[in-house]
Amino acid sequence: MTRYIIQRLIYMLITMFLIATFTFFLMKFLPGTPLTAADKLSEEQQAVVLEKYGLNDPVPVQYFDYMVNLVQGDLGISFQFDNREVTTILMERVGPSIQLGIQAMIIGTILGMLLGLISAIYHNGFLDYGSVFVAVIGKSIPSFVFAGILQYFIGVKLGWFPVALWEGWQYTVLPTVALAIFPIAVAARFMRTEMLEVMGSDYITTARAKGVNKFGVVFKHGVRNALIPLITVLGPLAVSLMTGTLVIENIFAVPGIGEQFVKAVNTNDFPIIMGTTLLLAFLFIFIILVIDLLYGVIDPRIRLAEGE
């Protein structure tokens, strides 16, 4: 087990290195310069400013410098926010995104699982159709449409929650709901399918034959077995929710990282592009590791490494 984790951590480092390298060179293909007033500057003046950022050096030299700094934990200085450290900007921006992502994930998973369970228990009944309907709606309506509807009816018309901005817990309600609708749908669909399959298995029949009641079977045997595929899907979904959704952040004026990343690409803010990519990549591979380890806990038959 320890060997497996150490091995995975080494793979993580290699993956991060490859991502950093790939992103760095890909970034250099972006058209334009990071200068905001490039159209107004003479070539000499542009060269003077680019020199300040080290962008006049050959690309391999820039790459080497960046990697050396990166190893020392220095992500550099932003181009669009002069002199502000990338680390500071990322830490400021990632907080709201992660907070919204986690809230949406928790609400989405719990509600989705409940819906899925209800569907499975009352298979082909009214409640089953009802929750399938909710899942279909959640999966098919784009989150920005849902966000707009929530904002207008709940925020403007009913005035129950703030329309937008980021000034306290009540400001997180509408964006969380808008974000949660998708995980609700995903969790509900997976839970329903898996539960139906599990419920038809021999060991469930055995359990029922032994006299375990319906709910006992569902919760003691069914849920646990249905969790594996669900976790497989929800893991990457959790990362994508936590790493910021541009549309939701824009609609609810959330100062999150998704919006910042897009702005960085549009302005050729190389250090922010790199910093954000690395942060998101780290979150992603870290969560994949956690999920792999979780498999073993949920179902001890899943072995993590050969010979263990």
At its nearest, how many Å lie between another protein and the CB of residue 222? Answer: 23
Q: Is 48 in the site for another protein (CB under 8 A)?
A: yes
Site size for another protein (CB under 8 A) = 73
Residue with tokens 């309907």: 133
CB of 247 to another protein, least distance (A): 9
In the shown chain, the binding pattern of residues 114 to 143 toward another protein, with x for contact by CB under 8 A and - for none, equals ------------------------------
By C-beta, is 35 or 187 nearer to another protein? 35
Residue ranges in 8-37 that form contacts with another protein under rule CB under 8 A: 30-33, 35-37
- The yes or no reply on residue 171 touching another protein (CB under 8 A) is yes
Question: Do residues 283 and 239 lie in contact, with contact meaning Cβ atoms separated by under 8 Å?
Answer: yes
Residue from 16, 53, 127, 196 touching another protein (CB under 8 A): that is 53
Transcribe the chain into DSSP letters.
-HHHHHHHHHHHHHHHHHHHHHHHHHHTTSSS-S-TTGGGS-HHHHHHHHHHTTTTS-HHHHHHHHHHHHHTT---B-TTTTT-BHHHHHHHHHHHHHHHHHHHHHHHHHHHHHHHHHHHHTTTSHHHHHHHHHHHHHHHS-HHHHHHHHIIIIIIIS-SS-SS--SSGGGGHHHHHHHHHHHHHHHHHHHHHHHHHHHTSHHHHHHHHTT--HHHHIIIIIHHHHHHHHHHHHHHHHHHHHT--HHHHHHTT---HHHHHHHHHHTT-HHHHHHHHHHHHHHHHHHHHHHHHHHHHH-TTS-SSTT-
Least Å from the CB of residue 119 to another protein: 30
42 part of the interface to another protein, by CB under 8 A: yes
Q: Is 71 near another protein (CB under 8 A)?
A: no
Q: Which of 45, 69, 201, 206 binds another protein (CB under 8 A)?
A: 45
How far apart CA 16 and CA 232 sit, in angstroms, is: 22
Question: According to CB under 8 A, which one of 29, 71, 167, 200 is a site residue for another protein?
Answer: 167
Please report how close the Cβ of residue 293 comes to another protein at its closest, in angstroms: 5
260 touches 95 (CB < 8 A): no
User: Which of 143, 151, 176, 276 is in the footprint of another protein by CB under 8 A?
Assistant: 151
Contact string (CB under 8 A) for another protein, positions 237-256, x = contact: -------------xxxx-xx
Q: Give 167 or 202: the residue with its C-beta nearer to another protein.
A: 167
Using the contact rule CB under 8 A, the part of the chain among 61-69, 134-142, 154-162, 221-229 near another protein is 154-162
Residues numbered 79-108 forming contacts with another protein, rule: CB under 8 A: 80-84, 89, 91-96, 98-99, 102
What minimum distance in Å lies between the beta carbon of 205 and another protein? 28
